[in-house]
Structure 1
Amino acid sequence: MEVISTENLTAEFVLLGFYDFPELHFLFFIVFTVVYASIVIGNMLIIVAVVSSQRLHTPMYFFLANLSFLEILYTSTVVPKMLEGFLKEATISVTGCLLQFFIFGSLATTECFLLAVMAYDRYLAICHPLRYPLLMGPTWCLGLVVISWMSGFMVDGLVVILMSQLRFCGPNLIDHFYCDFMPLVELACSDPRVAQMTTFILSVVCLTLPFGLILTSYVRILVAVLRVPAGASRRKAFSTCSSHLAVVSTFYGTLMVLYIAPSAVHSQLLSKVFALLYTVVTPIFNPVIYTLRNKEVHQALWKILYIKKMETLN
């Protein structure tokens, strides 16, 4: 067995990011700074609207506020380091890299479960409206959210424990804009097969089980809605679900391609583009779709603005 000297171990990594397009780095910095600010502000507005409006103290908006909070943390784990890479060489310690991967991966896994919970909530609201207040009571809502958050951090905690056993002693260039699993494992000097197999199995479980619940919920919703005569009730049901479906499609679609069928992505550049979809595009979908298409959130935000305006005038 080869013995690796501690003197040769890698101390820090360099995140190459989008090094292929150095002439566009300043433009990328401006664009993604605006997008990042929009994600934070938009999701914060949703949280403020839900917390401040009594009308929005329902399970659906409770889950939405949790999703918004998650999106802020999610992008804040990755985007600032990506923006740094557009201005100068972005370096990160091995410990910092594993920590970034742990937080980002945990939040991504949590989002999988949280989106499934939101689909289940819509199923109960549409298919069992009379029993809905009992089936989705405050205690059960809180329990589902706690389980979602704990599941994410427990699953990815196991992966990071395995990754922390790896030794990095060769090249320290990560061909990505954040510490993702595959680019990081490729730099390991020790055998990564246990970590790779464990991550693959957990990825399949944590993607397919929540996705299966989402699919089952929406099949049942579709069957129930199609039994209702065409009209306002059917349109309202579809409108309620369409926002959630748009977020689910983008998020799950890209994650499944990258983590369950990575051979479908034939270049590292394409992998980065797919990664941008679930690190930047999906988080901005949340405030845009839910805010622009939701009258109750609109009214709550306008009410907050009106109260602030009156307080300023007085």
Structure 2
Amino acid sequence: MESTIALKLPGFWELHAAVWFAQSESQFALRHIKADETHFHHVVSALNAATASRVLSLLRSPPADDKYGALQRLLLGTGLMEDIMFEGNQSLPPNVFLLAPIFHEPASIRPWAFGVLFVIYLVTITLNLILILIILCGKKLHKPVYIFLAQLLTMDIVGCTTIMPRLMYSISESIMITKPACFIQLFFVSFTGTMQSYILSFMAIDRYLAVCHPLRYNVLLTNSRAHKVILLPVCWSSLLAGIFLVLLIGRTFCKYPEIHKVGCINMAVAKLSCEDFTINSLYGIACTSLTTVSLIVVVVFTYTRILYVCLHSGPSSKGNRKALHTCVTHCLVLSLFIFSIVFALISLRMSSTNYFPQYLQHVSDSLFYLVQPLANPIIYGLRTAEIRRSLTRFTNVRIFQNKIISWHRYPDPQSSVLKQLNCVSDE
């Protein structure tokens, strides 16, 4: 019986699918395996996790007849794989990577996924720009803490714009990305992540100086110094991100060029190279440890001192309540950032195992690239009283100005009649 015949097909050859199927059918013929369902299950057992995820809809609901033929056609290019294969050629063009095929199955969900992501991206950019505009226009917000906040929101816009448009294009058009575009995306992902870490550290130091050294605060940290101090992390973050590129540009990529992430990041790209990528891994761990650990050390020290001062000087005082309220707001943003970083690292390191499914990798990506840029302006906008008051004043001024303009353009007719009556009575 066919069920007793021992057969183990080699792992599916993604770059040479037609050759693999020809060899597999020879194995079936040698062992006199003719049943369609047996062919189907042998092929499924030879698929790796990435390929199986692309044909998951067929694996879950195979047709009643010709299961093997349907799976073969899908893998050879008549289904989802036609996005990345080309007519008459089973190889990809040179200098091209493939991003994770998120929201590709079933095809009917793609327009909805694109629409949802577009709305989220539009809302994220709008909220961040509104808060930056309020900080720029409100003179009472021209303080170091809000200068740092504006810089953080700017990094949110840069980071979100680095990933989201490319992700929407992958859903609607093609998951292929050229090597130069991938490297540019990799640079800005590394740059914005490092910058956000240092800006959050500066914000913690600012709160420490404001609470623990209130009399010297205006001398130690002025608006001018807040603008100048950001230049150092800009240069440092650019250098660290540039080294990532230097370690990748000279490499030869001979493995199947699929990146199991929604964007290009260091280790996901380095794993595709022919050479040993230990140096890339060690450098990535060193950079992430340096920025994350330094952020945690600064936060633990500053907030420990802030709590100590507040508790020993009377927690019921109005100034201390305000300081604690500001610190809680900052801690919410910090917690979201650190959790996103840790989750993304776990996802990246375990992506090659079967214990971390593809959908969890997409969740970790969305936390860092989508949820955090959207949450930051909402958290600061709702919890910061000065920002809310400035927004109210700004809105009221605009409404008042519009009313004045409309009154000048379209004067009240009743007022004109009264003026004419007054003139007649005077005569």
Task: Tell me the TM-score normalized by structure 1.
Answer: 0.91
Q: Which residue of 1 aligns with 2:330?
A: 244
Distance 1:87 1:8 in 2: 20
Aligned residue for 2:377?
A: 287
Q: 1:241 to 1:9 in 2, by over 3 A?
A: same
Structure 1's 211 and 260: CA in aligned 2 closer, same or farther, altered over 3 A?
Answer: farther
Q: CA deviation at 1:221?
A: 1.1
2:307 corresponds to which of 210, 213, 222: 222
Identity %: 26
C-alpha separation between the residues in 1 aligned to 2:259 and 2:94? 12
Separation in structure 2 between the aligned mates of residue 260 and residue 152 of structure 1, nearest angstrom: 22
Matched residues in 2 for 1:19 and 1:30: separation? Answer: 12
Q: Deviations over 1:245-293 (max 9, x none)?
A: 1111111122134337855673343222112111111111111011112
Q: 1:113 and 2:203 equivalent? A: no
CA distance in 2 between partners of 1:190 and 1:10 (Å):
18
Report Cα offsets for 1:58-79 as digits up to 9, x if no partner: 0011111111111111100001
**Residue type matched to 1:13 in 2?**
F
**Quick one: which amino acid aligns to residue 267 of structure 2?**
M
Check the 8 A contact 2:268/2:348 in 1, yes or no.
no
Alignment of 1:1-314 (within 5 A): 10-19=94-103, 21-22=105-106, 24-231=109-316, 232-259=318-345, 262-263=348-349, 266-313=356-403, 314=405
Q: 1:133 aligns to what SS in structure 2?
A: helix
C-alpha distance 282-270 of structure 1, shift in aligned 2 (>3 A): same
CA–CA distance in structure 1, aligned partners of residues 114 and 327 of structure 2: 34
Given that residues 166 and 192 in structure 1 are in contact (C-alpha distance below 8 angstroms), is that contact kept between their aligned partners in structure 2? Answer: no
3-state DSSP of counterpart to 1:215: helix
Q: Deviations over 1:18-60 (max 9, x none)?
A: 2575454333322222221111111101111111111000001
Aligned partners of 1:86 and 1:253: how far apart in 2?
27
Give yes or no for contact 1:98–1:179 (8 Å, CA) kept in 2: yes
Greater RCO structure (CA 8 Å; 6+ sep): 1
Instruction: Please state how far the C-alpha of 1:295 moved relative to its aligned partner.
Output: 1.9
State the Cα distance separating 1:211 from its structure 2 match. 2.1
**What number of residue pairs does the alignment pair up?**
308
Distance 1:92 1:100 in 2: 10
TM-score (norm 2): 0.68
Letter in 2 for 1:300: S
CA contact (8 A) 1:207 1:256 kept: no
Q: SS of 2:230's equivalent?
A: helix
Superposition deviation, residue 301 in structure 1: 1.8
Specify every segment of 5 or more residues in structure 2 that has no aligned partner in the other structure, as ranges: 1-90, 406-427
Q: CA deviation at 1:136?
A: 0.6
Contact 1:10 1:170 in 2 (8 A): no
**Contact in 2 for aligned 1:200/1:259 (Cα 8 Å):** no
| Alpha-carbon distance in 1 for matches of 2:347, 2:185 | 23
Q: Which amino acid aligns with 1:149?
A: V
Give the RMSD, CA atoms, in angstroms. Answer: 2.2
Structure 1 moving runs of 4+ over 4 Å:
260-265
- Aligned counterparts of 2:361 and 2:241: Cα–Cα separation in 1: 21
Larger Rg: 2
State the distance in 1 between where 2:226 and 2:331 align: 20
SS at 1:47 equivalent: helix
Letter in 2 for 1:91: M
Which moves more between the two structures, 72-81 or 301-310? 301-310
Which amino acid letter does the alignment assign opposite residue 225 of structure 1? C
Query: In 2 relative to 1, CA 8–282 (structure 1 residues): closer, same or farther, beyond 3 Å?
Result: closer
Decide whether aligned partners of structure 1 residues 17 and 130 sit closer, same or farther in structure 2, where only a CA change above 3 A counts. Answer: farther
Using the TM superposition, name which of 8-17 and 242-251 deviates more: 8-17
Give me the whole-angstrom Cα distance separating, in 2, the residues matched to 1:196 and 1:184: 11
Tell me the amino acid that sits aligned with residue 286 of structure 1.
N
303-312 or 248-257, which deviates more = 303-312
